[in-house]
Amino acid sequence: MKYAVIDIGSNTMRTVIYEVINDDFEIVISEKEFAELISYIEDNLLTEAGISRLVRIMKKMRVLCEETHTEDILCFATASLRYIDNQKEVLERVQKEAGIRIQLLDGCDESYYDFIGLRSAIGESEAVGFDLGGGSAQLFYYKDNRLTKSMSEPIGTLAMYNRYVKGLFPNSKERNKISRRVNKSLKEAGDFKQFKQDTLYGMGGTARALAKVHRHLVGNDRAVDYRLTLADVLEVDRTLSDLGLSGIKILNRILPERLVTFLPGILIIEELMRHVGAENLVIIGYGVREGYLIENAINKGRGINEFRDSDIVICK
């Protein structure tokens, strides 16, 4: 059976069509649009221009689903719509004009789907992972296949860029502001070093972009689970920052759609690694979309309901 998962993020919107057979799945097609919805938010409202852009892209994604004979569409939004005051209007407009119902995920639910995606990808019974998007970041820990601690904060790459950076790349003062803001949120989330995890697993477009840039700089081959040390991450940051205009040209050639958000994203990842006490970073391909698919198409929603009733330590 074919399922489409539409992920409405703050920076990108992606439709992935999966073929699900029993308890397994494979990707049939994947399409993305850089909608940058967070840039259309004014006074906590998604503007008319933003709503129109969202509806237009959703119509295009629906056509893709129809052309590929997809049997069910699963659609969710994260930080892109989580913090706006006109959620009801936006959801109703999309359903009426594009014919797709959007499920709005809070930070707790997003962390849970991240956990399901990570566990499925690595097959480990214990791990710490993060999912860094344009509008928010999730950091979570699970043990014995149970999510036991998580946080979700509005410290995404595009959110930090829009708030603190005036040029293309953050200057030293702007870098410090981003790092302090991220560090403050992580301290409020509580102690993750207690779990003694030397490896942090990274999900999301910024993490995958980091792997791509590092491969380009050092000449590594593509890997399913790309591994870096904290020193590697710091070196990528330093190299691109020191290169100035040349660094901008490199990023514009490799990742033109992430030109302004990449370095803020690296700063966030550095703080995440320090907060966890991890010297190693493993970047995986699975994430919230795969977790959402597994839970809704395969598990039929059983796990998320149990999670919502659990005694999660931090979830906001």
Q: Percentage of residues in the chain with pLDDT exceeding 70?
A: 97
Phi-psi group of 198: left, alpha or beta (phi > 0 → left; psi -120 to 50 → alpha; rest → beta): alpha
Average pLDDT of the chain, as a whole number:
93
Whether the predicted pLDDT of 136 surpasses 90: yes
CA distance linking residue 161 with residue 185, whole number of Å: 16
Tens digit of pLDDT for each residue in 75-114? 999 999 999 999 999 999 999 999 999 999 999 999 999 9
pLDDT surpassing 60 at residue 151: yes
- The amino acid occupying position 216 is H
Q: Are 248 and 208 in contact (CB under 8 A)?
A: no
CA distances for 59 relative to 30, 77, 130, 239, 311, angstroms: 16, 16, 31, 41, 40
Q: Calculate mean pLDDT across residues 122-127.
A: 95
Q: How many CB atoms lie within 10 A of CB 228?
A: 23
Record the tokens describing residue 7, joined without a space.
């992920």
Q: Supply the pLDDT for residue 196.
A: 96
DSSP reduced 3-state for 313: coil
Amino acid at 195: F
d(CA 134, CA 265): 9
pLDDT of 312: 56
DSSP type of residue 12: -
Say which CATH superfamily domain 2-104 falls into: ATPase, nucleotide binding domain (3.30.420.40)
Domain 107-289 classification at class level:
alpha beta
pLDDT at 309 over 80: no
Can you give the pLDDT at residue 303? Answer: 78
Q: Domain ranges for the chain, please list them.
A: 2-104, 107-289
**Structure confidence at residue 31 as a pLDDT band (50, 70, 90):** very high
**Banded model confidence at residue 310, pLDDT cuts 50, 70, 90:** low
Cα–Cα distance, 142 to 148 (Å, whole number)? 5
Greater confidence (9 vs 316) lies with: 9
Q: What is the pLDDT of residues 180-210, one digit of tens each?
A: 999 999 999 999 999 999 999 999 999 999 9
Would you say the CATH fold of 107-289 matches that of 2-104?
Answer: yes
Residue 243's pLDDT band, with cuts at 50, 70 and 90, is confident
